A and B are shown apart, each in its own frame.
Chain A
């Protein structure tokens, strides 16, 4: 039994991440079900049914960060996947193909044996949700067909008009009920509604601690660099419906609050400028982007990306409309006006001096409105911005030199503006 008392948040993070993969492998070994899930698909149903969960996006991000993406991208390439398809998806399809080959031949393909990827088992079912893109529909269609397994779809229609209408919530809640029926068939047992309520409550406790961490970047100087959220994000994705996330986030928030109380800041007093990073991290170059900004004295105190998992809802609401709303209101699933308002809160909340927009070759939804978003945010805040080309997991689409030049320019503009305000 792992003793959590006295452990640092960082240790808890590493422990639980490894534990989740181990649980999935154990489940497979013991003939229990394994589900691959989209990162912001509702986890509540499968967790209620005691299904082991694997999150391909987090898995792919980990592979990217460990410099193992290229080998798997090549496997996907050979299968006919265009370089234009999302690199998370391609890494995952490549990984799936290797696992499948291993399962069929009984031999571990060399690429798989040499991959730094965390070993996860093949799924028995998949669940997807398009609240962060429609690519997740296409990707999971392919997983389901290539593995001949069931696919649960939670469709959250794009909210072209806000607030979210009741009929949309009703449609999503109906799908929740349908997913329950599907799971009862897949698992061969009735759905445990009492446990479902507990899982919803657990999810809310995890989300509350997650939000508690995110709010700590509002202090100036900041005790938190939001780059840390990119790391801790693994658990809000993979374990928000378990206590693993809550325990880890509570510890991390406690640590930061303690630091704040003692005047210990992320940049040890050398925080020159504060930025919002809009978009997904560039995982293969996470270290580079972090160091490059740090070298400029620029701290990340705003990022809307971790906010995707601000899935707060009323756990007592049996109509599930609140839960439906939480899963559909993700800012990139809403109209431009709402998207801008969410980002504006991030920029203002983090007391940011500027914004860096990631023009992500892998993510059309998080890129094609960047120009409009940036212009409106600039108009409303007067803060400068830059855009850089990148990719979440395909290292070929990111040029460190371009990134450095762009963030240097941003730092100069921010410093100039701060100096101007001081005069």
Chain B
């Protein structure tokens, strides 16, 4: 096994076994873990406590227990999170951090069935205003205070600044990784690409950064080969399970850039340096966020952003990975679709359901889409 293969396999293991990643972290540091629900949270604050921030983005369970608490028209990811809550999968977490940028999350934040304490905060949506930054700072102060109560010690500004550095570096390295993955699709296939992103949700970020840096170095030492398949930009909440990504691979489709909430949206915005206090600079990240369905934008820049991404990457098409029953994404779609069509950019929508076990429909659709290209 070459070095890059060893690193990829390591990251794939973490992505596939979050529980083990958490247990290892606990054994190593003597500290616990704190869950972070989609979509955005000031994870740096959690990191500054020394606890491990663990992403909670669903799973691949058959939904049974969750049916009692959620009707069938709740999004696939929250059905999964509810099912896992009911099973006690998150009970070892010292706390769970929930933001409420959509109606489903507002409700979910009020009905956690696990035993961990829940910390809820609200993102302001009139994001252009300075008043919104001030509001979010107050919300973050509450989050910080509650985290301090849970971990039993204060979170110092010095610790937050150190965590901001760690996170900014990780985001920068991941942005570089996205480019490398686009240049080397023979090496970084869609499943591997996803694993590199997913593992960052379950690893202490500086460790993740170190591994990805090494991975990038190894790959870049190899020659860039021409890609005979197709290249796409993927947009949506996430593309899971791996069986879905395998279909991309089977059909010679390389993901050259993504706008997935679970992936590149998480690394889009850095915390700026500056004289202001760290909580204010963390709050400003939300103001500077763009191209996401849960971050209000009355100009709807997302479609244009995706078209720009197509141009920059030389992609052949856009794949809209529609999370089942996610209405913020569903509301964005008609406008984006019109914009893609007007520009003559090929596009296709596929449905993402984490519970799915049969993928024939998506397989057929992607196959004929590739043939059409």
Residues of chain A lying within 8 A (CB to CB) of residue B325:
84
Residues of chain A lying within 8 A (CB to CB) of residue B337:
80
Interface string of B97-109 (1 = CB under 8 A from A): 0001111101111
> Is B23 among interface residues, defined by CB-CB distance under 8 A?
no
Give the residue name and chain of the B residue nearest to A79 (CB): B334
Q: How far is the CA of A167 from the CA of B131 in the complex (A)?
A: 9
> Is B296 among interface residues, defined by CB-CB distance under 8 A?
yes
Q: A154-B126, A371-B68 are in contact. Are A336 and B330 (CB under 8 A)?
A: no
Total chain A interface residues with beta-carbon distance under 8 A:
52
Q: A154-B126, A158-B122, A171-B134 are in contact. Are A142 and B334 (CB under 8 A)?
A: yes
Q: Which of B103, B142, B322 contacts A135 (CB 8 A)?
A: B103
Interface residues of A in 129-173 (CB under 8 A from B): 130, 133-135, 137-142, 144-146, 150-151, 153-155, 157-161, 165, 167-168, 170-171
Residues of chain B lying within 8 A (CB to CB) of residue A409:
none
> Is A23 among interface residues, defined by CB-CB distance under 8 A?
no
Interface residues of B in 104-135 (CB under 8 A from A): 104, 106-111, 120-126, 129, 131-132, 134-135
Interface residues of B in 313-353 (CB under 8 A from A): 322, 325, 327-328, 330-335, 337-338
Residues of chain B lying within 8 A (CB to CB) of residue A372:
69, 110-111
> Is A59 among interface residues, defined by CB-CB distance under 8 A?
no
Residues of chain A lying within 8 A (CB to CB) of residue B293:
138
Residues of chain A lying within 8 A (CB to CB) of residue B300:
141-142, 145
On whether the beta carbons of B298 and A365 are closer than 8 Å, the reply is no
> Is B86 among interface residues, defined by CB-CB distance under 8 A?
no
In whole Å, how far is A124's beta carbon from the nearest beta carbon of chain B?
15
On whether the beta carbons of A175 and B73 are closer than 8 Å, the reply is no
Residues of chain B lying within 8 A (CB to CB) of residue A160:
100, 109-110, 120-122
Q: Which of A157, A161, A361 contacts B124 (CB 8 A)?
A: A157
Give the residue name and chain of the B residue nearest to A82 (CB): B330
Residues of chain A lying within 8 A (CB to CB) of residue B5:
none
Q: A141-B300, A175-B129 are in contact. Are A365 and B106 (CB under 8 A)?
A: yes
Give the residue name and chain of the A residue nearest to B104 (CB): A364
Q: How far is the CA of A157 from the CA of B100 in the complex (A)?
A: 9
Contact-size category for B: 35 or more
Residues of chain B lying within 8 A (CB to CB) of residue A140:
298
Residues of chain B lying within 8 A (CB to CB) of residue A178:
126, 129, 131
> Is A367 among interface residues, defined by CB-CB distance under 8 A?
yes
In whole Å, how far is B113's beta carbon from the nearest beta carbon of chain A?
10
User: Which among A153, A171, A367 has the greatest number of chain B C-beta atoms within 10 A?
Assistant: A171
On whether the beta carbons of B108 and A134 are closer than 8 Å, the reply is no
In whole Å, how far is A118's beta carbon from the nearest beta carbon of chain B?
24
Residues of chain A lying within 8 A (CB to CB) of residue B297:
141
Residues of chain B lying within 8 A (CB to CB) of residue A359:
71
Q: How far is the CA of A137 from the CA of B331 in the complex (A)?
A: 10
Q: A80-B337, A168-B135, A369-B111 are in contact. Are A151 and B298 (CB under 8 A)?
A: yes
> Is A193 among interface residues, defined by CB-CB distance under 8 A?
no
| B→A interface (CB under 8 Å) | 68-71, 73-74, 100-104, 106-111, 120-126, 129, 131-132, 134-135, 138-139, 142, 293-294, 296-300, 322, 325, 327-328, 330-335, 337-338
Interface pairs A-B: 3 shortest CB-CB: A368-B107, A138-B331, A174-B131
27 contacts across the A-B interface (CB closer than 8 A):
A80-B337, A81-B333, A81-B334, A82-B322, A130-B125, A133-B103, A137-B296, A138-B332, A141-B296, A142-B331, A142-B335, A153-B125, A153-B296, A154-B126, A155-B126, A160-B110, A160-B121, A161-B120, A167-B135, A171-B124, A171-B131, A175-B126, A335-B110, A364-B73, A364-B103, A364-B327, A368-B74
